Amino acid sequence: MILVTGGLGYIGSHTCVSLSDAGQDLVILDNLSNSKAAVLERLREICPNVVQFEKGDIRDKATLTRVFNTFKISAVLHFAGLKAVGESNKSPISYYDNNVGGTLCLLEAMTAAAVRTLVFSSSATVYGDCSDVPIPEDNSRSATNPYGRSKLFIEDILADLYASDNQWRIARLRYFNPVGAHESGRIGEDPVGVPANLMPYIAQVAVGHREQLNVFGGDYPTRDGTGLRDYVHVMDLAEGHVAALRGLQRQGGMLTVNLGTGRGTSVLELINAFSLVSQREIPYKIVERRLGDVAQSYAAVGHAEQILGWKAKRQLSDMCADHWRWQIENPDGYPES
């Protein structure tokens, strides 16, 4: 059985489907701080294998001990954590507590249970303000906010752990910009409040929940003046986790891998692609740059292909079509249950 922390969240839930499709039984541990119980019902509809659920916090030792004692866990996929950059500037302590403290608790429990296979959700945010693209894994790392710093700390903790005992099998996966939804339209991204990220914002404008999109900056040194990002379909990302788990099971070691498409898409290109797929107008206005944004960020993807045999397959039009299906079929996100 695989333990999926944060498995009711956006990326974790989609990864549960891919793991289940690959024949794995799962137990999800989530405190529902940024997700709803309805995700579990939807997962049980679409997952072919067993999906167990424990409501609890990764910082709670008793909960972790119970989970490891109850289920025969062979590996952990660790998504649980806080992820909003702006919020992390306002509440750094809760970011370090949840992300770094939570990971330490998990690692202690894994050590006690002799479970030493871990796939960790890192982020392209560890490349800081690097704008030299495509970005390879051996690029220098830095942080521009407490969220990013929490990911740097965890990456370093995992490296120290592996150095202390190379029986550990650890993958540090650096996601670029995950978007889209499962093709069933049953699960997807359900941000609380005003979306901080571009794709969910566009989708909420398209569905009529918001009037217009603010495009942050039209004077970047890019082909149309707006920022370029590496949008990657969340199901490609999910399959990347299955490949990483298989890679660890096959060869062990510590892997550090970018998960992206290697292509940069501008804000205006994404608006156009979404508009085409949804057949809706997306009103927008170009405003000031957002503090802390880089002009461009996209992944060097050779390493993922070489060591995991994984490559993103889905196109931008698939990302928009699947995100739109989810949005139009669930205009208010998941129901409260």
Chain residues binding ligand WQD by CB under 6 A are: 83, 85, 123, 125, 177, 196-198, 201, 213-216, 227, 229, 267, 290, 293
The residues near 130 (Cβ < 8 Å, ≥ 6 apart) are 139, 140, 142, 294, 297
Q: How far is the CB of 176 from ligand WQD (least distance, A)?
A: 8
Please identify which residue in the block is written with the tokens 């196109």. 315
DSSP 8-state symbol, 125? G
30 versus 155: smaller Cβ distance to ligand NAD: 30
Number of amino acids touching ligand NAD (CB under 6 A): 26
Selection from ligand WQD, ligand NAD, none that 37 binds (CB < 5 to 8 A by kind) is none
User: Is the bond into 134 cis (omega within 30 degrees of 0)?
Assistant: yes
Is 10 annotated as catalytic? no
The verdict on 260 binding ligand NAD (CB under 6 A) reads no
Q: How far is the CB of 293 from ligand WQD (least distance, A)?
A: 5
- Determine the distance from the C-alpha atom of residue 200 to the mean position of all C-alpha atoms in its chain, rounded to a whole number: 14
Applying CB under 6 A, among 58, 126, 270, 319 the residue interacting with ligand NAD is: 58
Q: How far is the CB of 260 from ligand NAD (least distance, A)?
A: 10
3-state secondary structure of 46: helix
102 versus 262: smaller Cβ distance to ligand NAD: 102
The verdict on 102 binding ligand NAD (CB under 6 A) reads yes
Secondary structure of 157-209 as H, E, C letters: HHHHHHHHCCCCEEEEEEECEEECCCCCCCCCCCCCCCCCCHHHHHHHHHCCC
Residues in 160-219 at the binding interface with ligand NAD, rule: CB under 6 A: 175, 178
Six-digit token pair at 231?
Answer: 């949008």
Catalytic residue numbers read 147
